[in-house]
Amino acid sequence: MQSQGKLFVVGIGPGSDELLTIKAAKIIEEADIVIGHRRYVEMVKHLAKGEIIESEMGKELERVKKAVELAKSKKVALVSGGDPCIYGIAALVVEYLMKNDIKIDFEIVPGLSALNAANSLLKCPISGDHAVISLSDHLTNWDIIERRLRILLRCDIPIVVYNPSAGENNLKKALEIAASERGDFKVAMVKNAYRKGELVKITNLSELDVQEIDMSTLLIFGSSESIGDERSLTTPRGYSVKYEVGAKTLEAKKIAEESASILRKMIPGDTLKDEILRRAVMATGDLSYRDLIVFKGDLNSALKAIRDGCSIIVDVEMVKAGLRRESIVAVSFAKGNMTTTRAAEGIKRLADRIEGSLVGIGNAPSAAFALCEIAEKYEPAFIVATPVGFVGAAESKEAIRKLKIPSITNVGSKGGSGVCAAIINCLIEHAGSD
């Protein structure tokens, strides 16, 4: 029994000494042998006092075999970039030891992953639920990567993309999938985080310069909740929704209560329909909505769809901005090369996702007309349509009412994003409170 040896699989962080853990630095310094891919060994060899063994890319198994063999009698630090468990060598070591039933003293030392490094540089694109995917098809079939990516994009959470430049056309294909699932959205590119050549860029998917992306680059796809400018990309955690909605000060509360009691006198009643009418009147300050709103079909279809987690698809950003739940904005799917409005084009491009969704049209009559065409084939669960204006708005809402799909609309030219969002919010809150 050679009791002196031990194998440490050591994460060395993104590439600066300052972000190497104290533990990792100590192990590298005290190891008899430091072994690893040349690129990583290069980053830490100034700390090592023992022998250095550099190996090539693609020779992972040989490297592991060698490290394990040496660790039977020596202290060996097998170094890996970032965290060794994330697209690193640690899992291969564990698998090799298990399959060959090798019992050696073995420890994994965590490191800061590229994800953590990029997250700090970008100022929190990842602040809650998120996904991580690698575009390398070296160990995973491309079909599987593609399927996973598609599903993740539909979850609408920030997605971290490791190895974006792996393969021939992987990135190109991945970006096409991203555009087809989510339209245009914020994307961050972080190259050489915390090491020489550091570069951070925040852009839209459609403007991403793929030439700049290499094996030292990490991409982060923002979710529809991510906000950013040229220097930062942040996904708020929802504190503002939790703590800032509604009246805060005594004065504001008094006004809100007074306004609610005035509304109750104008529209008494405790049904969901009464509440929706009050919301519409409140959002617009216009009592005529009491008589203009038209309910068609069963309101429960909307509540059920919301509880089942249906997509909410809206025509324009203004509706989305007012909503208490995430939604997909049709205009961000438009490419502007059809002979129609961007809202209508976006709705058409989203056709197959309309099925089973709740659609809110707050602005564009053209989007409402487009929805009527699509709804013959892909039926939404519910429609809230309050497009506004003097060109086609009234007619488009009439057309929506002719569909067999349950809906809330209003008669005439009045309407707008605010009233649309107010009605959908009322449905969302009601769905959540039962």
The binding site for ligand SAH (CB under 6 A) comprises 14-15, 80-83, 86-88, 113-114, 117, 162-164, 190-193, 195, 215-218
Tokens of 106: 């073995």
Cβ 10 to ligand SAH shortest distance, Å: 11
Q: Token pair 């800061």 is at which residue?
A: 112
Beta bridge partners of 200: 190
Question: How far apart (Å, rounded) are the C-alpha atoms in residues 335 and 78?
Answer: 49
Phi, psi angles (nearest 5°) of residue 65: -55, -45
Q: How many other CB atoms are there within 10 angstroms of residue 318's CB atom?
A: 17
By beta-carbon proximity to ligand SAH, the closer residue of 16 and 73 is: 16
Cβ 124 to ligand SAH shortest distance, Å: 17
By beta-carbon proximity to ligand SAH, the closer residue of 193 and 205 is: 193
Cβ 200 to ligand SAH shortest distance, Å: 10
By beta-carbon proximity to ligand SAH, the closer residue of 15 and 406 is: 15
Cβ 80 to ligand SAH shortest distance, Å: 6
- Please say whether the beta carbons of 425 and 279 come within 8 A: yes
Cβ 71 to ligand SAH shortest distance, Å: 20
Q: What single DSSP character describes residue 194?
A: T
Distance of CA 213 to the CA centre of its chain: 20
By beta-carbon proximity to ligand SAH, the closer residue of 5 and 14 is: 14
Dihedral sign for Cα 277, 279, 281, 284, please.
negative
By beta-carbon proximity to ligand SAH, the closer residue of 25 and 91 is: 91
By beta-carbon proximity to ligand SAH, the closer residue of 216 and 223 is: 216
Tokens of 335: 């490419």
Cβ 141 to ligand SAH shortest distance, Å: 18
By beta-carbon proximity to ligand SAH, the closer residue of 190 and 331 is: 190
- Please say whether the beta carbons of 14 and 194 come within 8 A: yes
Question: How far apart (Å, rounded) are the C-alpha atoms in residues 122 and 210?
Answer: 19
Cβ 382 to ligand SAH shortest distance, Å: 42
Question: How far apart (Å, rounded) are the C-alpha atoms in residues 292 and 419?
Answer: 12
Q: CB nearest ligand SAH: which residue?
A: 82
- Please say whether the beta carbons of 314 and 327 come within 8 A: yes
- Please say whether the beta carbons of 4 and 22 come within 8 A: no
